[in-house]
Amino acid sequence: MTLLVVLLLSAPGHASPAQEAFEAGVTASRDGDNAAAVEHFVDALDHGGRDPAVYHGLGNALFRQGHNGHAIAAWTRGLELAPTDGDLSANRALALSKTRDRLELPRPPTGPFFWQAFVPVRTEALLAGLAAALGLWVQLIQGIADRRRRRAIRRRWEAAVLVGIGLVLAASARHHLSRPPPATVLTPEVRVRSALGAEGVDLFVLHEGAVVQTLEVYEDADTAAVLVALPDDRKGWVPRSAVDIADP
């Protein structure tokens, strides 16, 4: 697992605050000081080190302290950045096996972009930019250098294909960002209600560590709530403070 974001934040010859905090968290974890490890990993996130490795370490330290819901939330955030990370998946699966609800994990719709199940949105955006830039380079630079008609036609086709791939990946990244993220219940239990306000009634109860799909977030001066859905199509409103939303 690589610290991509942390390394990008590091200046040559000098560790960034995010990297220093991450390394301090790793050291604290190895020394068995999980409370200090949590503080350091959170500090790394506060300094921009939003990376799967940071969420992995944070989840481990929280889990060792018995904070299963918060640990699952951390690993879920990490998996939003690295969907195929085996360590994050295994750790979350272990913690989920200890939860009371034992819900099936939500599967957000991918539409025609099937690769979203294993390609992070940041990678999609990066590849989209690279494909479009390479297509333009082939069209402009190579087209000028190659005067032969047959090769020029081939170059135009190559450029069109690359730009097309870039546009598809850009559309996928936009769809990826717009789809509802998962949320993890942090409180020991939360009552799911049919509507906001006094007219709502209790529908069912979710417990710490349950991972659900968000459908809508509502906030005004007096109320902050999230509309969540379960794999069996049950849905309802919970207080915003009761869940952690894994924004991509």
Q: Which of 69, 127, 74, 120 is nearest to 95 (CA)?
A: 69
For the chain, the straight-line distance linking the first and the last C-alpha, in angstroms and rounded, comes to 18
pLDDT, mean of residues 86-109: 90
pLDDT at 54: 96
* Total residue length of the chain: 248
pLDDT, mean of residues 1-6: 44
Torsion region of 61: left, alpha or beta (phi above 0 gives left; psi -120 to 50 gives alpha): alpha
pLDDT, tens only, 158-196: 788 888 888 887 887 776 667 788 999 999 999 999 999
Report the C-alpha gap between 129 and 118 in whole angstroms: 19
Give the pLDDT band of residue 8 (cuts 50, 70, 90): very low
Helical spans, DSSP H, in 31-148? 34-46, 52-64, 68-81, 86-96, 121-137, 143-145
Report the C-alpha gap between 190 and 6 in whole angstroms: 35
**Poorest-confidence range of 8-12, 89-93, 189-193?**
8-12
The answer on pLDDT for 63 being more than 50 is: yes
pLDDT, tens only, 23-50: 999 999 999 999 999 999 999 999 988 8
**235-239 vs 243-245, strand pairing mode:** unpaired
**Poorest-confidence range of 6-15, 119-128, 158-167, 183-192?**
6-15
Measured CA distances, 124 to 51, 131, 159 (Å): 16, 10, 19
Residue 108, SS3 per DSSP:
coil
Q: What is the mean pLDDT of the chain?
A: 85
Q: Which of 8, 5, 9, 60 is nearest to 35 (CA)?
A: 60
Task: Identify whether the C-beta of residue 238 lies closer than 8 Å to the C-beta of residue 228.
Answer: yes
- Indicate the pTM of the whole model: 0.79
Q: Which of 117, 118, 1 is nearest to 56 (CA)?
A: 1
Q: At what angle do helices 52-64 and 68-81 cross, to 10 degrees?
A: 170
pLDDT at 109: 64
